[in-house]
Amino acid sequence: MVHANSSPDEIVTDLCIIGAGPAGITIARELSGSGIQVCLLDSGGRDIIRRTQRQNRGESTGHPLHTLRQARIRAFGGTLRHPRLVEGGWAARPLDPIDFEHRADVPESGWPFGHEHLRPFYARAERACALPRHHVTDTWVAADDSALEPTAFQFSYITFADTFDDLTASPNVRLMPRCRVAEISADAQRRRVERIVAVRDDRSRVVVRPRFVVLAAGGIENARLLLAADGGRGIGNDHDMVGRYFADRLALPVGYVVPPDAASASGATYFARHGNVSGAVRMTDDVQRGRGLLNSLFYLVPRPLAVTTPAVRSLSILRKAATRRPLALGLRDHLSNIVTGPGDIARFVLGSVTSDSRALVLRAQSEQTPNRDSRVTLGSRRDDLGMPQARVTWRFSATDHESIRAATGIVAAELRSRGFGALQRISDSDPAALVEGTNHHHMGATRMHADPRDGVVDADQRVHSMANLYIAGCSVFPTYGASNPTLTIVALSLRLADHLRDVLRQRDDAGAGQGRDSRKHA
């Protein structure tokens, strides 16, 4: 139930975009100057305000996940405005060709189109994100028969926040910050979104009556808004698919090497960041297909040798567990390691500021198998607008662990052959390790699939059961790959903007745009 003062203002528009993160802003920018009337709603404003961040509260069950309040940013630009990403940039890399394929040994895998289809949109996305066309120095040369291949991440400092003034000045884009969606209502046939009710900070209401809608509110919020829509009946959930297949990237240290000499250690410079580029290695697509492995990337991180001890490892796990819910298993064992290893912790602190002996920690970043029971649902608590908060249950399987172990073995053999030394594996038990979700990559909960029984949106990102509702962002990913998702989010959003421009123009040409002059804007 919405509690607000005064009678609502009303806006009639061609397109209403809900959410001003990378997806929503990209679509609005592409349509700016097109003559298509766009209304861009966002719960955040130009600046990050603590009071607004409280609207991210929710519940987490299943495997420990970053708390929902800390995992997302409600401000113009979305979670790219996170201070750590603003300072260090965000990692960009396209998905790999295999990520789009249906793989018999990866259940529910595959996209409705292939990597080649998205290639031109990736090129446009790189330009939109001001990514340099540079590569790491070629110091990791793979043999012809190698199971690994070198690859690279580029880093962008684009947060899209600097487009605020441009969109404000656009003749056809109406930017409405600090305006929270409280209701999404369908027509009597439940085939079209008929109206959207939003509430401003001053509690005044806005009613938007759109011809088309794009939900671009983030991987968790997209699912929450759909589930809570139409008076709690939900929209697009005819087959109980909204919220299912939620995923995050799996990231964890899997082992370490102690190079026998300085020359061997210098080989790790390939993985270091060189300006806006850093290196990594991955299983080739052929090896993944042949051995039934999930996609994964690996890189080496120089650390003080003491980081390899149980005490320091447990200290790191407890520090990370403090920002995740539910609490991780094995906390008592980790505390015991810390209590019995103060000397190791002291050596770690000292080694962080001196040139003492170093280890090279091998970190993995892997996709997870699509999991139907990993999902976003509505929780028991409600926010100040009366809407249910999100409950996220993150689950992954033993198969995901096994894939990382097998891939680690391949990387270990390669490291040894290159003179790095033997990889000392880090056990994922005794006490339990913390598999980290990487940087809040909330994917999959409104997945794309040609069959409405297996997905929420079709290949055009339109909700199967709705004629005028689209979803943008990585919640539409049907499989996830090992790359960070933002570059693909922007590429898909450019593609969706092109589609919407064509659909709206075709309907206007056919006479569906009658009554455009009757719009009234608040």
The per-residue pLDDT for range 95-105, each reduced to its tens digit, is: 999 999 999 98
| Over residues 454-463, mean pLDDT | 98
**CB of 267 within 8 A of CB of 420?**
yes
CB 424 within 8 A of CB 412: no
181: left (phi over 0), alpha (psi -120 to 50) or beta: beta
The confidence band for 286, taking pLDDT boundaries of 50, 70 and 90, is very high
- For residues 264 and 247, the model is more confident at 247
Sheet holding 388-394, edge to edge: 58-62, 388-394, 375-382
- Give the confidence band of 245 by pLDDT, cuts at 50, 70, 90: very high
| Highest mean predicted confidence (pLDDT) among 198-212, 307-321, 335-349, 433-447 | 198-212
Evaluate if residue 376 carries a pLDDT over 60.
yes
- The DSSP bridge partners found for residue 278 are 153, 273
* Alpha carbon distance 501, 37 (integer Å): 11
Q: How far apart are CA 414 and CA 41, in angstroms?
A: 50
Whether 306 shows a pLDDT value over 80: the answer reads no
Q: Which residue has the higher pLDDT, 138 or 212?
A: 212
Residue type, 85: L
pLDDT at residue 507 above 90? no
Residue 275 has pLDDT above 60, yes or no: yes
pLDDT band at 522 (very low <50, low <70, confident <90, very high): very low
Can you give the pLDDT at residue 205?
94
Nearest Cα neighbor of 213 from 230, 201, 200, 238 is 230
Read off the pLDDT band of 267 (50, 70, 90). confident
Per-range mean pLDDT, top range of 228-242, 248-262, 321-335, 500-514: 228-242
Name which of 199, 196, 201, 130 is nearest 163 in CA terms.
Answer: 130
What proportion of the chain, given as a percentage, has pLDDT over 70? 87
* pLDDT at residue number 323: 73
pLDDT, one tens digit per residue, over 426-452 is: 865 544 455 565 557 899 999 999 999
Over residues 404-421, mean pLDDT:
92
Report d(CA 185, CA 232) in Å as an integer.
Answer: 10
- The amino acid occupying position 34 is S
Mean pLDDT of 134-138: 62
Pairwise pLDDT comparison (473 vs 249), residue with the higher score: 473
Q: How confident is the model at residue 520 (pLDDT cuts 50, 70, 90)?
A: very low
Q: Write phi, then psi, for 262 (nearest 5 degrees).
A: -65, -35
Output the average pLDDT for the chain.
86
- Of residues 413 and 2, the one with the higher pLDDT is 413
Model confidence band, residue 330 (pLDDT cutoffs 50, 70, 90)? low
- What CATH number does the domain located at 1-89+158-245+370-396+441-512 have? 3.50.50.60
Amino acid identity, residue 364? A
Higher pLDDT, 75 or 136: 75
What's the rounded mean pLDDT across residues 66-88? 81
Pairing of strands 273-274, 277-283: antiparallel
pLDDT at position 439: 54
Domain ranges of the chain: 1-89+158-245+370-396+441-512, 134-156+250-366+397-434
Q: What is the pLDDT of residue 335?
A: 76
245-267: average pLDDT: 86
The mean pLDDT value for 130-157 works out to 81
- Whether the pLDDT of residue 518 is over 60: the answer is no
- For the chain, the distance separating the N- and C-terminal CA atoms, rounded to the nearest angstrom, is 23
The yes-or-no verdict on residue 4 having pLDDT over 50 is no
User: Tell me, what's the pLDDT at 200?
Assistant: 92
Share of residues in the chain with pLDDT > 90 (%):
58
pLDDT, mean of residues 412-421:
91
Which of these ranges, 132-141, 267-276, 472-481, has the smallest mean pLDDT?
Answer: 132-141
Greater confidence, 130 or 439? 130
Which of 41-55, 288-302, 330-344, 499-513 shows the lowest per-residue confidence on average (mean pLDDT)? Answer: 330-344
